């Protein structure tokens, strides 16, 4: 099989646009529920982990946007430093994300807007963020793999941002299946960009699609299990 083409500058510019797009989605998703109340002094955090989670998430977004710029400048030293900083933000995001979610429990059976999306967050989005980031680090010398795996790592937090929009619609099952569908659409668009730009879809994108397709139904199934019900409801469990 022929070597997959590498267009370093084109790929870096593409990822820079992706980074800004991700940031725009995240800001628009949380402007009314977080930033505006925070600016007015009216925001009430569910616990002490809420603000640290927001901080590490936006530092991750800023570093992700900076990395393509460093590639274009061929500043590999700072690209590596920022990479390790991104790793620290991934660890912080996972820890604070889990802590924030557990602080919202116990809840009640009827609170599907909390219980079911939480399963997707805990068993789909956070694991894929960490897993794809680790894979990107391990394959950092394979440029065609590295930046695509980083895309999939950075794409995982979009689930939380899109979830804010889905939650407004008050859909059945907390909107979890709809959210998985929206995430899948984004991955298909990214895979098609490979097809358009390179004439074929890279294996990393097929893997990304497979992981998200597999973990979505898994998260939905976990949300209906007895042990998850007891975990999320605590003393309110039937």
Query: How do the domains of the chain map onto residue ranges?
Result: 8-236
Per-residue pLDDT, 55:
93
Q: How far apart are CA 27 and CA 4, in angstroms?
A: 35
End-to-end CA distance of the chain: 57
Average pLDDT over residues 90-119: 85
Give, to the nearest 10 degrees, the angle between helix 158-168 and helix 112-120: 160
Return the higher-pLDDT residue of 109 and 194.
194
Mean pLDDT of the chain: 87
Q: Is the pLDDT of residue 147 over 80?
A: yes
**Rounded to two decimals, what is the model's pTM?**
0.88
Per-residue pLDDT, 160:
82
What lies within 8 Å, CB to CB, of 20 at 6+ separation is 65
Q: How far apart are CA 158 and CA 164, in angstroms?
A: 10
Per-residue pLDDT, 1:
38
pLDDT tier, 3 (very low <50, low <70, confident <90, very high otherwise): low
Q: Which of 228, 199, 22 is nearest to 114 (CA)?
A: 228
Q: Is the pLDDT of residue 172 over 60?
A: no
Per-residue pLDDT, 2:
46
Average pLDDT over residues 37-51: 86
Q: Which tokens go with 64?
A: 């992700």
Q: Which of 191, 193, 133 is nearest to 157 (CA)?
A: 133
Per-residue pLDDT, 162:
81
Q: How far apart are CA 106 and CA 215, in angstroms?
A: 24
Return the higher-pLDDT residue of 192 and 106.
192
Residue pair 146/83 in contact (Cβ under 8 Å)? The answer is no
pLDDT tier, 165 (very low <50, low <70, confident <90, very high otherwise): confident
Per-residue pLDDT, 47:
79
Summarize pLDDT for 9-35 with one digit per residue, the tens.
899 999 999 999 999 998 888 888 888
């Amino acid at each position: 099989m022929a070597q997959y083409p590498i267009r370093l500058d084109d790929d870096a510019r593409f990822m820079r646009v992706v980074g800004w797009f991700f940031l725009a989605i995240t800001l628009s998703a949380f402007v009314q529920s977080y930033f505006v109340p925070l600016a007015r002094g009216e925001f009430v955090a569910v616990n002490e982990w809420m603000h640290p989670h927001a901080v590490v998430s936006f530092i991750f977004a800023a570093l992700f946007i900076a990395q393509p710029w460093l590639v274009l400048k061929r500043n590999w030293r700072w690209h590596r430093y920022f990479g390790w900083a991104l790793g620290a933000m991934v660890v912080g995001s996972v820890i604070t994300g889990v802590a924030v979610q557990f602080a919202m429990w116990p809840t009640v059976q009827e609170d599907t807007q909390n219980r079911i999306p939480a399963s997707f967050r805990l068993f789909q989005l956070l694991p894929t963020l960490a897993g794809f980031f680790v894979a990107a680090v391990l394959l950092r010398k394979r440029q065609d793999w590295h930046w695509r795996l980083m895309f999939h790592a950075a794409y995982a937090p979009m689930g939380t941002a899109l979830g804010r929009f889905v939650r407004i619609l008050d859909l059945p099952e907390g909107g979890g299946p709809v959210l998985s569908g929206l995430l899948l659409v984004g991955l298909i668009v990214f895979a098609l960009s490979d097809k358009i730009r390179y004439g074929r879809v890279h294996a990393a994108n097929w893997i990304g699609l497979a992981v998200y397709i597999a973990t979505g139904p898994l998260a939905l199934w976990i949300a209906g299990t007895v042990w998850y019900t007891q975990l999320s409801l605590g003393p309110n469990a039937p």
